Amino acid sequence: MTAHPPQKSGALRHAVELTKSIIPPVHPGGRPFILGAAVATLAVRRLSRRAGVPAAVVTAWLAWFFREPKRVTPRRPGIAVAPADGTVSHVVEAVPPAELSLGDAPMLRVSVFLSVFDVHVQRSPATGEVVRAVHKAGQFLSADLDEASEVNERNSLHLRTDDGVDLAVVQIAGLIARRIVCQVADGDKVLAGDTYGLIRFGSRVDLYVPTGSRVLVEPGQRTIGGETVLAEYTPAAG
């Protein structure tokens, strides 16, 4: 058997690593859609090569839509990073979802709206433990409306950070988004920046931080999930 020269093996490894750095992996929640589209594309191509072109474009778009790029998350204490890619739509005081039993006192809510062009995975805003994860059925209003936080279908997490601070992060379905995927449950440990869920086809994510926190973003600003610092909060005493 002929061995490959070291130079060629090294070049191949470099090419593979370069490809991985350019083409992000796909979230598992999107694989059934991509596989189904790929099978349909092959079937269509057998009937007509011309018709197979748009089918292949749809398959490629789905692979791009469900991408899960690697992110470099800041690790300093006392910060909450963006749980999603998108555009900040609201920064207001609001009572967190009642199903999380966090009380009636308002918290600061930073809402991030995701268009169909954004990465649609959600990431933990801080390192800590999931105290409670609750799914609530609801309506499917446009996710950029303020009332969507209260009436739309959603999945809410109460997260207690390692420094003892209670946060809430809420995946909200939108006009087109009808499927929320959450991969964590009560008692799970999460690391800041790690993927914990997915909303399919346009949506919104709300982050609630304690009143008195310093919010570092403004409405209209773009966020990068797992990287953009949305707020600084004061760690719990003791």
Q: Give the largest CA-CA distance in the chain.
A: 72
Bridge partners for 204 per DSSP:
113, 172
Helix (H, G, I), strand (E, B) or coil at 41: helix
Q: What is the distance between the alpha carbons of residues 165 and 147, in angstroms, rounded to a whole number?
A: 26
CB 204 within 8 A of CB 143: yes
Q: Which of 89, 124, 156, 203 is catalytic?
A: 203
115 among known catalytic residues? no
Which strands form 79-81's sheet, in the order they lie side by side? 79-81, 229-232, 214-215
CA angle in degrees (0–180, nearest 5) for 116-119-122: 115
Q: What is the distance between the alpha carbons of residues 232 and 190, in angstroms, rounded to a whole number?
A: 19
- CB atoms under 10 Å from CB of 29, counted, come to 20
| Angle of helix 49-65 versus helix 31-47 axis, rounded to 10 | 170
List, by residue number, the catalytic residues: 203
